[in-house]
Structure 1
Amino acid sequence: METRDVSRDENEKQEPIDTLTPYLAQYSLGEKIRRLRLRKSMGLVELGRHTGLSAAMLSKLENNHVVPTLQTLSRIALVFSVGLDHFFSDPEKHKSIAITRAAERMDLDEKLDTKDILYTFQCLDYPATERKSSSYLATVKIHDPDEVAQHTHEGHEFIYVLSGTLGLKVEDEEVTLDKDDTAYFNSRLPHGYRSIGQGECKAIVVTIP
C-alpha cells in the first residue's frame, strides 16, 4: 500500500511508510469510505465536489492504494455527518456525551467551483456518532454578490448569525441577516452566502438531513 499526503499534488510521489501500512490496514479506511458513499447513493464525482478531491484520488482511497490524511478524512466525515472516530473506533461502542474542544477544531476552506475561498467552517460536533444533525461555525469572507456560488444538499438548514451581517441567497432571493438573526430553509434549493459590509461574518450553521 502506498502512503502519501493526498493534500499534495496527485502526481507527487512519496515513499511508502511500511511501518504504518499494517497498522492502518486494520481499520479498513477505504472500505468505510466506500460504504458511506454508497449508503448515500453518491458517485465519486459528486463526493469529489463536496471534498475538493478528484474522483481518481477518491477511487485510490477506497481501494487502499493511498492513505488519507487527517484533514481528508475530516472532509469526508463532514459530508456524511459522522465523527472521525467512525474510521478508527469500534462501531459498537458509543459515548453518551461527545465534546469538541475549541483547540481541536480545524478550519476547512470552501471554494466550491471558484478559485477564491468563499468561507471557512469548523465542525462543532465531529466526535459525535450517529448524528441527527451537523453543526458548523462558518466564517463568511466573500462580499461581491456576483461571486456568490450557490450549492444544494439534502435536508434543511438553520443559520444563527453571531457577528457581522450575512447575505443569504436562496434561489433568486437574497435576504439580509444581522447579529442574532436566524433563518431556516430547505437546503435542496440553491443557496449561498456572503458577508455584507466591512469585515467577515460569523454564523452557526446547522444542517438536518
Structure 2
Amino acid sequence: MGSMATTEEDVLAGVGPRLRALRRARGVTLADLAAETGLTASTLSRLETGKLRPTLEQLLPLARAHAVPLDDLVQAPLTGDPRIHLRPVRRFGLTVVPLTRRPGGIQAYKVIYPPANRKRSIKLQTHEGYEWFYVLNGQVRLILGDQDLLLDAGEAAEFDTRLPHAISSAGNQPAELLTLFGAQGERAHLAPAPVRVNS
C-alpha cells in the first residue's frame, strides 16, 4: 500500500514541472494561461511549483489549453531511461514523429510527406525562425522565395523561415525528412495557415 501512495506522489510531483515546460514551450505567461483556463495566475503558479496538488477540475482546462492529452500531464515519472517513445502524429496529410521530448528550444522531428499530388495547390508560408532539414528518403521539392529546388536523399537545406517557403515530396514516393526547428517553426508547421504572397 505504501509503495502505491509513493507512486501517486511521484506522478503528481512531476505534473508541476511538466505544466511549466508546456506553458514556456507555447510562449505564454501565467496571465495568458489564466485567461485561457479560468484558473487564477496564483493557482497556476502554485501548481507549477508543486505547492498545490492538482485536481481533475484544474487539469482538464490545462490539458485543453496546451492541446495535450490529459494522460500526458500525469504520465508516470521519467525513470532515467534515455529511450524516447516515438508517437507519430498525422497532421494535414503529413506523418510527424517527434524525436525529442525536451520542451522549448530546438526540436527534432522525422516528417513523412505523402507522394506529390499534382492537383494540390502549393501554399507558401512565412514565420519567425530558422529551419534545417536533411532528406532521409525520396525526393523533396523546396520552394524558397523565387527558387524551386529538388533535393535527393542525403542532401540538406537550411533557411530563414521569414522567406516564403513550401516543402513537399517531389515524386510518386513518400519523402522522409529529419527536420529541426524552434517553437515558432513548430507552431507554423504543425498548424499551418496559408500565407498570401504578393507577386
TM-score in terms of structure 1 length: 0.52
Contact 2:134–2:156 under 8 Å retained in 1: yes
**1:1-209 alignment, distance < 5 Å:** 27=15, 36-39=25-28, 59-60=36-37, 64=58, 66=61, 68=63, 72-73=67-68, 99-101=82-84, 104-111=85-92, 117=93, 119-126=94-101, 128=102, 131=105, 133-141=106-114, 143-144=116-117, 146-208=120-182
- In 2, distance between residues paired with 1:100 and 1:61? 36
Distance 1:177 1:200, change over 3 A: same
Distance of aligned partners of 1:66 and 1:39 in 2 relative to their CA distance in 1, 3 Å threshold: closer
Identity %: 21
- Structure number with higher relative contact order (C-alpha < 8 Å, ≥ 6 residues apart): 2
CA distance in 1, matches of 2:140, 2:152: 6
Structure 1: distance between partners of 2:82 and 2:124: 31
Q: 1:100 touches 1:124 (CA, 8 Å); kept in 2?
A: no
Report the CA distance shift for 1:206/1:30 in structure 2 as closer, same or farther (over 3 A): closer
- Name stretches of at least 5 consecutive residues in structure 1 with no aligned partner: 1-22, 45-57, 75-83, 112-116
> 1:84-118: CA deviations, max 9, x gaps?
78x9799xxxx8xx8343xx11122232xxxxx2x
* Contact in 2 for aligned 1:30/1:61 (Cα 8 Å): no
Measured in 2, the distance between the counterparts of 1:88 and 1:193 equals 34
Seen in structure 2, the aligned counterparts of structure 1 residues 188 and 142 have a Cα distance that, compared at 3 Å, is farther
Q: Which structure has the greater CA radius of gyration?
A: 2
Q: Relative to structure 1, is the Cα distance of residues 204 and 175 closer, same or farther in structure 2, using a 3 angstrom cutoff?
A: same
User: Structure 1's 189 and 109: CA in aligned 2 closer, same or farther, altered over 3 A?
Assistant: farther
Measured after TM superposition, the shift of residue 173 of structure 1 is: 2.2
Q: Matched residue pairs, number?
A: 147
RMSD: 4.2
TM-score (norm 2): 0.55
In structure 2, the residue corresponding to 1:73 is in which secondary structure? coil
Measured after TM superposition, the shift of residue 68 of structure 1 is: 2.2
